[in-house]
């Protein structure tokens, strides 16, 4: 779950940087050769370059890059998603495969989210930090689950439209469809990126203030308020809160779609929470 950090970059690269290319493919059926023209969508630059460019240049860069690379290697689904993105999301037959990979990834992400949130809540129990911090981390994760599902559905729909436009009016028409898709999705992707940066910044700040060496980063530890610089901590938390809300706003404006993760709340917890709220009025 921690390797989800790379997902926004992979998705941004996989969608926003797509370009339509017409390719001539030679196919053989028995002894007969067929020349087939086919539309492909592929990124305009390599994902590796993109991820390198977006890395910060501070002393932590190597450690964090290494950390994420290892995390990706340990997560088979994300590893496959990143590899496919690097290849332009195409199978050997030229079929665009990122959509089905997104779908698998989105479904598994939504399924595992409660366990992930529970792990975060364990950190809250062992710390003396305010609940808001972990609540905001959870809000990011849950919004991200909705975002993945939306992206899967939107990407599949884009594939269909681009393909129809290509068959009807060639590459220029498919380019128009693709540009329209990219224009609409860009603000949601940007909001996702910015919020991920906010979320990771706060996590990293907590890690850095509770570690004496790089080796201790992202290892289990107990967070203590006394180790934090109040203004900086408040600023990072405020930014995450604001960006989480913007991320959800952008997503709702775009129109959440696909299979939305269900977050059922058990009766007694909600009724107690509601009563506590009402008694404050």
Partner 1 sequence: MGLPGCLLYDANILFTLLEGWLHQALTGNIAPSSFFVNAERVHLEAKRIGVPCLASHQSYSALEDRVKRVNDFAADTLRSFVQFLRQEKTVSGQLSPFDSNEDIFLVERFIVEQFRPLGQSKNWEKESLRLLERLIFDAILRATGKRGSTTSTQSVIDQILGTLVDLTRISDGRQTCLVRLQSEVKAPTVFGDPQLFREIKNNVLIGDDEDVGQLSVAIQHQKTANIWTVFVTTDYAHVISVAGDILSKFKLQCSAPLYAIAYLERLSAKGGPVPDPKQYIR
| Burial degree of 194 (CB within 10 A; 0-12, 13-18, 19+) | middle
Tokens of 72: 């990706």
Minimum CB separation from partner 1 for residue 124, in Å?
7
Q: Count the site residues for partner 1 by CB under 8 A.
A: 38
Minimum CB separation from partner 1 for residue 187, in Å?
14
| Burial degree of 204 (CB within 10 A; 0-12, 13-18, 19+) | middle
Interface segment toward partner 1; rule CB under 8 A; list 23-31, 83-91, 205-213, 240-248: 240-248
Q: Is 118 in the site for partner 1 (CB under 8 A)?
A: yes
* Angle between helices 230-254 and 131-208 in degrees, nearest 10: 120
Residue with tokens 């919020």: 195
Identity of the residue, 181 or 254, whose beta carbon is nearer to partner 1 in the bound complex: 254
* Alpha carbons 188 and 258: distance in angstroms, whole number: 15
Minimum CB separation from partner 1 for residue 222, in Å?
11
Residues 97-116 that bind partner 1 (CB under 8 A): 114
For residue 170, give Cα distances in angstroms to 20, 92, 148. 10, 23, 30
Identity of the residue, 168 or 276, whose beta carbon is nearer to partner 1 in the bound complex: 276
Minimum CB separation from partner 1 for residue 32, in Å?
57
Indicate which single residue of 148, 248, 254, 258 sits in contact with partner 1 (rule: CB under 8 A): 248
Residue with tokens 């977006």: 54
Q: Is 280 in the site for partner 1 (CB under 8 A)?
A: yes
119-158 footprint of partner 1 as x/- string (CB under 8 A): --xx-xx----xxx-xx--xx--xx---------------
DSSP for 88-102, please give it: TSB-TTS-B-HHHHH
Minimum CB separation from partner 1 for residue 160, in Å?
28
* Alpha carbons 26 and 33: distance in angstroms, whole number: 7
Positions touching partner 1 (CB under 8 A) are 114, 117-118, 121-122, 124-125, 130-132, 134-135, 138-139, 142-143, 244-245, 248-249, 252, 263-266, 268-270, 272-281
């Amino acid at each position: 779950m921690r390797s989800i950090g790379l997902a926004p970059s992979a998705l941004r690269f996989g969608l926003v940087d797509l370009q339509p290319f017409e390719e001539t493919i030679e196919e053989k059926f028995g002894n007969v050769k067929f020349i087939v023209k086919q539309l492909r969508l592929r990124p305009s630059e390599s994902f590796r370059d993109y991820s390198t460019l977006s890395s910060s240049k501070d002393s932590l860069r190597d450690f964090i890059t290494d950390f994420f690379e290892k995390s990706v290697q340990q997560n088979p689904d994300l590893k496959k998603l990143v590899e496919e993105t690097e290849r332009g999301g195409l199978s050997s037959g030229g079929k665009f495969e990122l959509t089905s990979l997104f779908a698998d990834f989105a479904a598994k992400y939504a399924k595992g989210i409660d366990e992930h949130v529970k792990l975060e809540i364990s950190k809250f129990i062992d710390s003396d930090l305010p609940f808001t911090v972990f609540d905001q981390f959870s809000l990011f994760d849950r919004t991200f689950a909705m975002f993945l599902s939306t992206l899967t559905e939107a990407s599949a729909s884009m594939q269909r439209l681009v393909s129809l436009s290509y068959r009807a009016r060639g590459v220029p028409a498919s380019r128009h469809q693709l540009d329209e898709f990219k224009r609409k999705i860009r603000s949601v992707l940007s909001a996702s990126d910015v919020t991920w940066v906010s979320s990771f910044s706060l996590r990293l700040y907590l890690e850095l203030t509770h570690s004496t060496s790089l080796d201790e980063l992202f290892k289990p530890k107990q967070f203590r308020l006394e180790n934090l610089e109040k203004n900086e901590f408040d600023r990072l938390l405020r930014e995450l809160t604001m960006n989480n809300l913007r991320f959800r706003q952008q997503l709702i404006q775009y129109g959440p779609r696909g299979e939305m993760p269900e977050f059922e709340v058990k009766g007694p917890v909600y009724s107690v929470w509601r009563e506590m709220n009402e008694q404050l009025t």
